[in-house]
Structure 1
Amino acid sequence: MAEAAPALVRVTERVWLWPHHPDPDRVQAGIGVIAGDDGCLLVDAGHSPALARRVASALGGAGLPRARTVVYTHHHWDHVWGAQEWGVPVVAHELTAEALRAEAAKPWSEAYLRAETARDPRLAPSYGARSRAMAADGWDAFRIVPPDETFTDAHRIRLDGVTVELQHVGGGHAAGSTVVRVPSEGVLFLGDCSYPPPYHLREPGAGPDLALARSLLDDAYEWYVESHDAPRRHAEAKAALGG
C-alpha cells in the first residue's frame, strides 16, 4: 500500500511544520518553516536530500517563499542530511559545526554503514534508518554541509516581517543543542534538546532531561515544537512536565 503523502501543517500565521514521521524506525525529524516576506527560515534541513526536495515542493504548493536560511538545532543526521539540497546559508552553534566537520570527513556509504554496525551493533537502528533514508539518492553525490555561520550563546536572524532568536541550551542529547524562538508568533522550536543521548551512547537508566525542558517553559510562548512529536500548546506542555 502506498504511503499517504504528508503535508505542511500551519501552526501560526508565519510558522509551519513538516511533521516528523510517526514510525520511530524512520528517524525522520520534523522541519520547521518560519515564513518571512522575503524568504523562509528552515529549522533543520531534513534527514535526506529526497525529503528536502519534497519539503521544497510543499513550500511552493503552500504559496510560501523559497528557503533563505537553514538553522540546525544540532548535528544529528536526521536534522542535517538534507542540507545539500537547499543550497542556502546554514547557521548553527559552534559545537554543532565542530561535530559536523568530523562527520563530513567520514566515508559515508553502504559499506561504511555495515562496517560500523559490525563494530558496534548498537548503531544498527540509526545506521539502518540512514540506509533507508538515502535509498532514493544513493551516496555518490552525498555531502554533509557544515554551517556557514556559527554563534556561541545566542544569535538573532531578521527576516522581513519576523525575527528569529537562537539560544544555545546544550544538554545530554547533543552538546550543541539550540532552541529557536519566534517571539512574535509565540512559537518555540525545541529540537531534541531534552531527549536522552543517542541509543549507542546511552547509559542504562538514562531518560529525558526534564529540568532542561521545564526551564524553557515561558508564558510568552503558546506553542512548543519538538522534532519527534506533535506540537504542544503551553498548557499541555506544562502539564506533561508536571507543572
Structure 2
Amino acid sequence: MALITDERGGVLVDAGHSPGHAREIRGALVAAGLPEPRWLVYTHHHWDHVWGACAWPGVEIVGHVAGEAPLRAEAARPWSHRYLREQVRAEPRLGPSFRARALAMDSWDDFAVLPPTRTFTDELELPTGVRLRHVGGRHAPDSTVVLVPDSAVMLLGDCFYPPPVHLRQDGDGPDLALVHRLLDDGYQWYVSSHADPMTLDEARAAVEG
C-alpha cells in the first residue's frame, strides 16, 4: 500500500488485505494528520490488494478493465470461514491463498468485495498528476503500475511476480524482462508490493545481473 497526497487530494494505492487492515491504515493516517484519500487505485484484483476496500468510504475506486469481471465474480461468492474450508477441500491448491484469507479476516460482518467504480484500458492520469499504466503480465492480466512523476517513484504492485501458487507451473519465476521494460531514467525509485524499495541502479543490477 502507498498514499500519495498533496493539496489536490490523496491517492491510495491498494486497499489492504482486509477491512481490519484498512482500518489500521486509516488510523495511522489520522494520527499523522493526513487527509482521507479521494481515490483508491487497484494495482490488480487479487484479494490481498482489494479486500480492504469496503473500509474506505467515499473513495472513487479505479482499476484496469480486465479486473472488473473477476472482482464481480469474487463479490458474488458467499465468503466465510466455512466457505474457505470447503473450497480448499475441493481444490487443495487453493490452500495457501485461502488459508491466508481466513487468517486476515476476524469478522465477515459488512464485508464486501468491491469492483472498481472507474475503469481504464491503457493509461489514465488522475487530477493529482499520478499516472496509471496497464502492464499486464503473468501474475494478473490487469496488473497496473502507478507513476508518481513529482517524486520520481514507480509503484510496481505485483506485476513481475510469478502467477499465484494455484496457477503456477514448473519454471514460472519473476518476469524480470517486464521490469527491464519499465526502467526509466525519470524514475529513481521502484517499489513492489512485497519487497523493499529499490533505486534505479539497484533495479537495473537486479534485472541485468
> Which bin holds the TM-score, normalised by the shorter protein?
over 0.9
Q: Can you list the C-alpha shifts for 1:74-111, whole angstroms capped at 9, x where unaligned?
A: 00000000000001110000011121011111111111
Q: Which residue of 2 aligns with 1:217?
A: 183
Contact 1:59 1:65 in 2 (8 A): yes
Q: Segments of 4+ in structure 1 off by > 6 A?
A: none
Count how many residue pairs are aligned between Structure 1 and Structure 2: 208
SS at match of 1:52: helix
Contact 1:72 1:80 in 2 (8 A): yes
Q: Distance in 2 between matches of 1:119 and 1:147?
A: 29
Of 193, 198, 201, the match for 1:227: 193
Q: Which residue of 2 aligns with 1:151?
A: 120
Q: Which residue of 2 aligns with 1:185?
A: 151
SS at match of 1:241: helix
1:199 aligns to 2:172 (yes or no): no
SS at match of 2:127: strand
Q: What residue ranges of structure 1 are gaps of 5+ in the alignment?
A: 1-30
1:94 aligns to 2:94 (yes or no): no
Q: Distance in 2 between matches of 1:37 and 1:128?
A: 40
Superposed CA RMSD: 1.0
Equivalent AA in structure 1 for residue 84 of structure 2: L
Identity %: 55
Q: Distance in 1 between matches of 2:25 and 2:108?
A: 20
1:44 aligns to 2:10 (yes or no): no
User: Structure 1 residues 221-230 or 33-42, which shifts more?
Assistant: 33-42
Q: Can you list the C-alpha shifts for 1:161-212, whole angstroms capped at 9, x where unaligned?
A: xx10000000000000000000111000000000000000001111111111
Whichever structure has more helix as a proportion of its residues is 2
Contact 2:136 2:143 in 1 (8 A): yes
Contact 1:91 1:149 in 2 (8 A): yes
Q: What pairs with 1:156-167 in structure 2 (closer than 5 Å)?
A: 156-159=125-128, 163-167=129-133
TM-score between both structures, scaled by the size of structure 2:
0.97
Q: Which residue of 1 aligns with 2:43?
A: 73
Q: Which residue of 2 aligns with 1:22?
A: none
Q: What residue ranges of structure 2 are gaps of 5+ in the alignment?
A: none
SS at match of 1:45: coil
